[in-house]
C-alpha cells in the first residue's frame, strides 16, 4: 500500500557521513562508482558539497571542489545535489563581503547545486540575508537552518522566532540543525509539532548519533509530522554521524510514513562504501572508531569536529589531553555568551579550550576569540560579562560591533582577482577567485600543482 504521507530522506554519505567519521577524506573517485545508483533511489536530495568538503578537497586531496561538483552533476540527474553553506562565512572561517557571498552562491548553483542549506553559527539571521536572496535569485531550493543547542538562553520559543525570521527571507523549507546530537526525542516531538503548527513550509531535521538518541529522536519527530530527515548509508552512519538510512527505511515500512525507498537496492551501494571507509582509514591513518558518548550533552562538540579534533591532538602527541579539552569547552562556551558549537564557533571555542588546558586559562587569547566576543561574527545568544571582556579579553565598549557585521566589509571580488593576477593567474575563473578568497594559501598551493 502506498504511503499516505511518506517521510523524505536526504542522504548524507557523500558529505556529512564521511566528514563526521573519516575527517572529510572521501575522494570523488570513491563516490563515482555508485552515484548513479544513489540517484535512482528516490531521495529528496543527495548532500554532496559544502561544509568542510571544499577545504578538504584543496588541502588534503589535491582535488578542485568545483570540478567535483561538476563531475557529480554529470551523473546525478534526477536528485538535487545539496550543499551546506555557512551564510556570510560561505565555506571559510571568517565573514566575507556581500559580493563574495553572492558570487559564490551563483557559481554553486551554476555548477550543479540544487538545494542550499544556509545557517549561521549564532542564529543571527542578519548573516543569512544576502546568501538567501542570492540562492533564491539563482533558482535553488533555499533551506534556512537554525542551529539547535542547549543553554539557559535557548528554548523552543527562541527557535520559533529564528524559524519565522527565516521564512520572512523567503526560504522554501526550514531545517532544525542539531549538529551535536543534543535534541532529545520528546523535545524533538514538541519542537516539530510547534513548527508544523506555526509555519507552512516543510520542516527537515538533521541530527547526529553522538549522544545515542538520534534514531529515537527521528521517530518522535516523524510522529510529530516532520517532512524530511537526514540519514547516512550504514557504513558512514552512527558514531558521530547520522542514523543509518536502511534502518530508518525499514522502521517505517508498512506505516503511513513509509518512505517508498527500497532498502534492498541500497545494500550493494552500502557494500561499496564499507570498502571505501576501510581504505580511507588505512590511507589517511584515521581513527574511525568514534563511539557514542552521551557526555556530548555536556560538551556539545558537533560530529564533524569530534573526529578532526581527536585526529589533530593525536598528530600533536597530545591525545592524553583530549578529555581535559572536552571538559574545558563548556566553561569557555558559557563565558563567551553560549554560542552554539558549530563551524566556525566550535573551532574558535575548541581552540580556546585547548590553549587554556595547555598554557593556563586565557594566558593566550587568539584573535578569533576577540572577534567573537566583540560581535564580528554576529550577536551571541547571551551578553558577555563586560568585566570578562575588559580584563580577560582586552576589549572595551568602543570595540563592540552592533551592526550587521558584513556592513563593515567593503567589496572583495575585484581585489581578490587582482591579487590572483599578481600571483601569476591573470585569467583565473570566478571559481578559482572564490577558492583563493576562501583559502588563499591552500588555493595557491593547489594552483601551483594543478594549473
* Confidence at residue 315, expressed as pLDDT on a 0 to 100 scale: 82
Cis peptide before 344 (omega within 30 of 0): yes
pLDDT digits (tens, 9 = 90+) for 94-104: 899 999 999 99
Let me know how many helices (H) and strands (E) the chain has, helices first: 21, 8
pLDDT band at 323 (very low <50, low <70, confident <90, very high): confident
Whole-number Å distance between alpha carbons of 46 and 15: 9
Each residue's pLDDT tens digit, 146-163: 999 999 999 999 999 999
Residue that wins the pLDDT comparison between 4 and 252: 252
For the chain, what are the domain ranges? Answer: 8-284, 301-407, 411-448
Give the pLDDT mean for 198-216: 97
Could you tell me how far CA 331 lies from the centroid of its own chain? 23
**Mean pLDDT, residues 270-280 taken together:** 97
Q: Which segment of 119-133, 190-204, 214-228, 277-291 scores lowest on mean pLDDT?
A: 277-291
Cβ–Cβ under 8 Å, residues 368 and 344: yes
| pLDDT exceeds cutoff 80 at 38 | yes
Rg over alpha carbons for the chain, rounded to the nearest Å, is 21
Interval 387-404: pLDDT, tens: 888 877 787 777 889 999
Q: What is the pLDDT of residue 306?
A: 66
- C-alpha cell belonging to residue 100: 563574495
Computed over every residue of the chain, the mean pLDDT equals 94
Categorize the per-residue pLDDT at 380 as very low, low, confident or very high, splitting at 50, 70 and 90.
very high
Q: What pLDDT is attached to residue 343? A: 80
pLDDT over 70 percentage in the chain:
98
For the entire predicted model, the pTM comes to 0.94
Asked if the model's pLDDT at residue 308 lies above 80, the reply is no
Write the CATH number of the domain with boundaries 301-407: 1.10.472.90
Nearest residue to 342 via CA among 164, 207, 172: 207
Q: How confident is the model at residue 307 (pLDDT cuts 50, 70, 90)?
A: low
Q: CA nearest 300: which of 275, 267, 336?
A: 336
Q: Degrees (nearest 5) of the Cα angle 258, 3, 261?
A: 45
- Pick left, alpha or beta for residue 306 (phi over 0 → left; psi -120 to 50 → alpha; otherwise beta): alpha
Q: Residue 80 carries which DSSP code?
A: P
Give residue 2's pLDDT. 57
Multiple choice CATH, 8-284, 3.40.50.1360, 3.20.20.70, 3.40.50.620, 3.40.50.2300: 3.20.20.70
> Please, are residues 259 and 237 in contact by the beta-carbon 8 Å criterion?
no
Distance CA 286, CA 21 (A): 9
Q: How many residues comprise the chain? A: 451
Cβ(15)–Cβ(265) under 8 Å?
Answer: no
- Residue 388 near residue 396, CB atoms below 8 Å: no
- pLDDT computed for residue 206 by the predictor: 98
- CA gap 63, 68 in Å, rounded: 7
pLDDT of residue 396: 74
Of 449, 451, 442, 444, nearest in space to 92 by CA: 442
Q: Grid coordinates in use for 264? A: 534492498
Which residues are CB-contacts of 282 (< 8 A; sequence separation ≥ 6)? none
* 333 CB neighbour count, 10 Å cutoff: 24
The stretch 63-68 carries a mean pLDDT of 98
442, burial (CB in 10 Å: exposed 0-12, middle 13-18, buried 19+)? middle
Amino acid at each position: 500500500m502506498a504511503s499516505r504521507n511518506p517521510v523524505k530522506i536526504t542522504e548524507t554519505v557523500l558529505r556529512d557521513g564521511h566528514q563526521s567519521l573519516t575527517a572529510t577524506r572521501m575522494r570523488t573517485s570513491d563516490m563515482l562508482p555508485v552515484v548513479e545508483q544513489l540517484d535512482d533511489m528516490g531521495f529528496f536530495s543527495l548532500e554532496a558539497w559544502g561544509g568542510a568538503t571544499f577545504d578538504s578537497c584543496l588541502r588534503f586531496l589535491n582535488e578542485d571542489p568545483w570540478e567535483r561538483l561538476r563531475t557529480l552533476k554529470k551523473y546525478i540527474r534526477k536528485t538535487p545535489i545539496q550543499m551546506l553553506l555557512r551564510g556570510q562565512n560561505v565555506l571559510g572561517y571568517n565573514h566575507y563581503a556581500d559580493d563574495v557571498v553572492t558570487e559564490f552562491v551563483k557559481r554553486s548553483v551554476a555548477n550543479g547545486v540544487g538545494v542550499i542549506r544556509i545557517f549561521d553559527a549564532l542564529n543571527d539571521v542578519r548573516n543569512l540575508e544576502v546568501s538567501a536572496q542570492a540562492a533564491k535569485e539563482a533558482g535553488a531550493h533555499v533551506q534556512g537552518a537554525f542551529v539547535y543547542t542547549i543553554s539557559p538562553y535557548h528554548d523552543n520559543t527562541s527557535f520559533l522566532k529564528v524559524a519565522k525570521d527565516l521564512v520572512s527571507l523567503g526560504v522554501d523549507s526550514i531545517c532544525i540543525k542539531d549538529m551535536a546530537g543534543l535534541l532529545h526525542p520528546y523535545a524533538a516531538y514538541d519542537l516539530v509539532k510547534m513548527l508544523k503548527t506555526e509555519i507552512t513550509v516543510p520542516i527537515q531535521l538533521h541530527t547526529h548519533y553522538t549522544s545515542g538518541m538520534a534514531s529515537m529522536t527521528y521517530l518522535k519527530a516523524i510522529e510529530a509530522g516532520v517532512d524530511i530527515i537526514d540519514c547516512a548509508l550504514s557504513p558512514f552512519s552512527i558514531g558521530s554521524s547520522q542514523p543509518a538510512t536502511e534502518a530508518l527505511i525499514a522502521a517505517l515500512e508498512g506505516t503511513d510514513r513509509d518512505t517508498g525507498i527500497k532498502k534492498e537496492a541500497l545494500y550493494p551501494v552500502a557494500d561499496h562504501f564499507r570498502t571505501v571507509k576501510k581504505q580511507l582509514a588505512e590511507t589517511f591513518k584515521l581513527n574511525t572508531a568514534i563511539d557514542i558518548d552521551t557526555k556530548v550533552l555536556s560538551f556539545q562538540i558537533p560530529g564533524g569536529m569530534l573526529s578532526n579534533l581527536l585526529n589533530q591532538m593525536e598528530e600533536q602527541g597530545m591525545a592524553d589531553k583530549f578529555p581535559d579539552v572536552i571538559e574545558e569547552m563548556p566553561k569557555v562556551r558559557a563565558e563567551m555568551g553560549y554560542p552554539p558549537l558549530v563551524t566556525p564557533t566550535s573551532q574558535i571555542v575548541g581552540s580556546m579550550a585547548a590553549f587554556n588546558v595547555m598554557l593556563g586559562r586565557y594566558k593566550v587569547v587568539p584573535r578569533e576569540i576577540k572577534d567573537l566576543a566583540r560581535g564580528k561574527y554576529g550577536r551571541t545568544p547571551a551578553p558577555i560579562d563586560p568585566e570578562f571582556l575588559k580584563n580577560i579579553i582586552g576589549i572595551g565598549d568602543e570595540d563592540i560591533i552592533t551592526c550587521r557585521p558584513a556592513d563593515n566589509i567593503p567589496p572583495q571580488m575585484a581585489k581578490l582577482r587582482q591579487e590572483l593576477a599578481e600571483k601569476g593567474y591573470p585569467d583565473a575563473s570566478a571559481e578559482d577567485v572564490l577558492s583563493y578568497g576562501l583559502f588563499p594559501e591552500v588555493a595557491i598551493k593547489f594552483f601551483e600543482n594543478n594549473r
